């Protein structure tokens, strides 16, 4: 078990780049650098405080997620005075989608600051969004809500979130295609198309077909049923794009 005072010793090799990198990202000098270091501490290090509480970014991630939702909701409310509740909810979902947050976190090169026992190559892209949310919480705890709101608005929303582009962006092709078919009163089905079994290394694949009025429109396969459904719906969307746009 490692205690909090050991964090600063084990991170000494990264401290040279940590503070300037953080300052470059957030646009101001931190008051309490330790809260930012917590935001980039992975649970694999098993750090504990003197009361035995875990020291890692996971609780900060939870707080940052709530703060981000609140700030973006307020921004959308002000910027889209004609938008109803459904529109605002969809726009917020698109703005804080995991892919979008991962893209922003990757641009900030947040993984370079992470202290972990895990090889960086073993993380998937979600680590970038998780660290971004933890960073937002760290700013809030260090500087207060106003500064946190400024960071989200100036460093995330304005550079990375185009409302016009977001309005036409599809987050879930499955949800979109289901809604479109229901609106048009079309019969549709998303079901297993054929059993592909497993490949040479034992990886199981799921093959799904998208049927419109009992006609096969598209097929796709993936390593999970959920991924295969989303993939086949995306393909069906592009096959039917001319009808959908009309």
Tokens of 219: 């097929």
Catalytic residue among 65, 142, 229, 230: 65
Tokens of 111: 């993984």
Residue 25 neighbours by CB under 8 Å, 6+ apart: 108, 110, 135, 155
> Are 204 and 148 spatial neighbours (Cβ–Cβ below 8 Å)?
no
Tokens of 75: 């921004």
Query: Does an H or E element contain 65, and which?
Result: helix 58-79
Catalytic residue among 54, 117, 125, 133: 133
Does residue 65 have an active-site annotation? Answer: yes
* CA dist., res. 156 & res. 67, Å (int): 13
Does residue 133 have an active-site annotation? Answer: yes
> Are 56 and 134 spatial neighbours (Cβ–Cβ below 8 Å)?
no
Backbone angles phi, psi at 237, to 5 degrees: -55, -45
> Are 118 and 44 spatial neighbours (Cβ–Cβ below 8 Å)?
yes
> Are 191 and 165 spatial neighbours (Cβ–Cβ below 8 Å)?
no
* CA dist., res. 101 & res. 213, Å (int): 37
**Proportion of the chain in helix, strand, coil states, percent, rounded to 5:** 60, 10, 25
- Residues with catalytic function: 65, 133
């Amino acid at each position: 078990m490692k205690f909090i005072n050991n964090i600063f010793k084990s991170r000494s090799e990264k401290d040279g780049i940590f503070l300037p990198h953080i300052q470059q990202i957030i646009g101001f000098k931190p008051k309490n650098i330790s809260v930012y270091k917590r935001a980039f501490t992975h649970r694999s290090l098993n750090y504990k405080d003197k009361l035995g509480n875990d020291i890692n970014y996971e609780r900060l991630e939870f707080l940052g997620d709530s703060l981000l939702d609140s700030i973006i909701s307020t921004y959308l409310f002000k910027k889209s005075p004609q938008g109803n509740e459904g529109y605002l909810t969809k726009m917020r979902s698109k703005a804080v989608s995991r892919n979008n947050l991962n893209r922003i976190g990757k641009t900030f090169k947040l993984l370079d600051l992470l202290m972990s026992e895990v090889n960086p190559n073993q993380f998937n892209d979600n680590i970038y969004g998780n660290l971004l949310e933890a960073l937002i919480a760290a700013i809030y705890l260090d500087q207060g809500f106003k500064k946190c709101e400024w960071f989200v608005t100036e460093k995330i929303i304005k550079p990375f979130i185009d409302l016009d582009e977001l309005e036409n962006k599809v987050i879930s092709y499955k949800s979109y295609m289901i809604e479109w078919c229901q609106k048009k009163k079309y019969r549709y089905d998303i079901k297993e198309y054929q059993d592909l079994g497993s490949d040479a290394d034992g990886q199981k694949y799921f093959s799904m077909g998208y049927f419109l009025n009992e006609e096969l429109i598209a097929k796709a396969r993936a390593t999970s049923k959920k991924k295969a459904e989303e993939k086949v719906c995306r393909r069906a969307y592009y096959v039917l794009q001319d009808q959908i746009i009309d």
